[in-house]
Amino acid sequence: MRSMGRMAAGLASVLLVFLSGAAEGWAQPRPLARAVAMPGLIPSMVQQLAPITIELPAGPADISPPRVKIVGLTWCGGDGAGGARALGVVYPEAATAPALNALSSADCDRALPSIASRLPISSAQARWAAVIKMRVTWKPWRLTLAIVDAAGVPSGASPAGSLKGLGEFKSIATSGLQLLPPPADRYRFDLAIRFLPTTIVTALFPSGAVADPDVWLEADPLLRAEMASIPAGANLVSDAQYDFINQMLHIYAPVYDVPFQVQGIDQPMTVRNVIASGGDNTMTLRGEIGYAGMEYNGTLSAQGEDLRIATIGLEPVNLPACNMTDMIARLQCQGQQFAVGGSARALAAALTNYYQEQPFRYATGDRPLRFTLGDVEFAADLATLKSASHSSTFSAAERAEIRRLGTIGAQ
């Protein structure tokens, strides 16, 4: 049953790390899911966006527009005006990129020429190197990257002037996104983004359902409470509507196995058709459970601010009606019913004794979550540190690690 809980929460989190045809069944004004990337996650997440290739304006002697490559990115935080700042290290497209990012957050407020003077050139087999100052903004429904300043070395060889005048160089649509793998790849979603001074807030909506997502990105009291109660070690806060979680469970987890050992018998439980529901500081999972040749309707209840497991109940299913006219046959049937009911109660007691008071937790383990942003595919490894329930919303504070898998369509 704990693995049942992990599956329910984990599938919700598929969409909470920036997580897609139609929005049927999900036409509601509040977001399906949200995620808040905290300061401990953002720098490494941003670094995974590199490399990015930029095409510069062609000069009189150029046969084709010259291409350069951003090989390292450093996050500098929100700018207080709805955008965010970052620094980038730029080399010729064919250069050998340094193994490590040459910049750090300490460079964010330094003069660009002094930063450029530290960039390695000979080890990169490059004629020049440059540093750029970038501004990232989002407005419904597009993420935009622009260069606002640049400096290079040697000053006469680098294209710092062209970079400085380039302005917007990349624009990523965040509406109508296909974010989910099959069999839910027909669904489309809109992703809203808000840059705050130290965090990044994202919210996922059914495609075309919301025109102005602003109220859900900062001012929502529930979101503020989730961010204020994050435990030490967590770098991601996420929440999702139970209706959305159930839709994901129906699509991706109709049946799975739960390892469990009781009375010396080591065999898996088969769990299917899980449904999650909740309220304030309460959550319930219901599903069909198969164990040792028997079928049960199972219920797991968790309570408290940290959703600790309280009880696990099992009710046998497909029992005969015992309405025979023959008294002996009827008594035998009723005796079998009593025995099966007693077995169900004993198993439920064993499960409750094993899991009671354990906090509701999950981890992606060897099945990382996958998602795309623009033309880049990523994987996310998640482990929850705290979970909670508020009305129709499940929330979690997690430890996340984001990895770049590659560019879509690249050989």
What mean pLDDT do residues 197-213 have? 92
Pick the residue with more confidence: 179 or 80? 80
Sign of the CA dihedral running 37, 43, 45, 46: positive
- pLDDT tens for residues 113-163? 999 999 988 776 888 999 999 999 999 999 999 999 999 999 788 899 999
**pLDDT for 278:** 95
408 pLDDT exceeds 90? no
6 pLDDT exceeds 60? no
Burial of 262 (0-12, 13-18, 19+ CB in 10 A): middle
Pick the residue with more confidence: 244 or 14? 244
Pick the residue with more confidence: 195 or 27? 195
pLDDT band at 259 (very low <50, low <70, confident <90, very high): low
Pick the residue with more confidence: 212 or 338? 212
- Determine what percent of the chain is predicted with pLDDT higher than 90: 47
pLDDT band at 261 (very low <50, low <70, confident <90, very high): low
61 pLDDT exceeds 50? yes
**pLDDT for 184:** 83
- Are 41 and 392 in contact by the 8 Å Cβ rule? The answer is no
What mean pLDDT do residues 268-275 have? 83
Pick the residue with more confidence: 144 or 253? 144
Other CB atoms closer than 10 Å to residue 27's CB: what's the count? Answer: 12
What are the Cα distances from residue 243, in Å, to 25, 184, 248, 391? Answer: 9, 16, 9, 12
- Are 383 and 399 in contact by the 8 Å Cβ rule? The answer is yes
317 pLDDT exceeds 50? yes
**Three-state secondary structure string covering the chain:** CHHHHHHHHHHHHCCCCCCCCCCCCCCCCCCCEEEEECCCCHHHHHHCCCCEEEECCCCCCCCCCCEEEEEEEEEEEECCCCEEEEEEEEEECCCCCCCCCCCCHHHCCCCHHHHHCCCCCHHHCCCCEEEEEEEEEEECCEEEEEEEEEEEECCCCCCHHHHHCCEEEEEEECCCECCCCCCCCCCCEEEEEEECCCCEEEEEEECCCCCCCHHHCCCCHHHHHHHHCCCCCCCEEEEEEHHHHHHHHHHHCCEEEEEEEECCEEEEEEEEEEEEEEECCEEEEEEEEEECCEEEEEEEEEECCCCEEEEEEEEECCCCCCCCCCHHHHHHHHHHHHHHHHHHHHHHHHHHHHHCCCECCCECCCCCEEEEECCEEEEEEEEEEEEEEECCEEEEEEEEEEEEEEECCCC
**pLDDT for 330:** 67
Burial of 227 (0-12, 13-18, 19+ CB in 10 A): middle
**pLDDT for 13:** 37
Tokens of 127: 């004629």
What are the Cα distances from residue 282, in Å, to 278, 357, 393? Answer: 5, 13, 11
14 pLDDT exceeds 60? no
**pLDDT for 343:** 78
355 pLDDT exceeds 80? yes
pLDDT averaged over every residue in the chain: 83
**pLDDT for 188:** 92
36 pLDDT exceeds 90? yes
What mean pLDDT do residues 205-234 have? 86
- pLDDT tens for residues 64-81? 888 999 999 999 999 999
**pLDDT for 409:** 63
Interaxial angle between packed helices 242-252 and 2-13, expressed in degrees from 0 to 180 and rounded to the nearest 10: 100
User: Comparing 10-24, 88-102, 161-175, 197-211, which segment has the lowest mean pLDDT?
Assistant: 10-24
Give the best-scoring range by mean pLDDT among 30-34, 130-134, 317-321, 375-379. Answer: 130-134
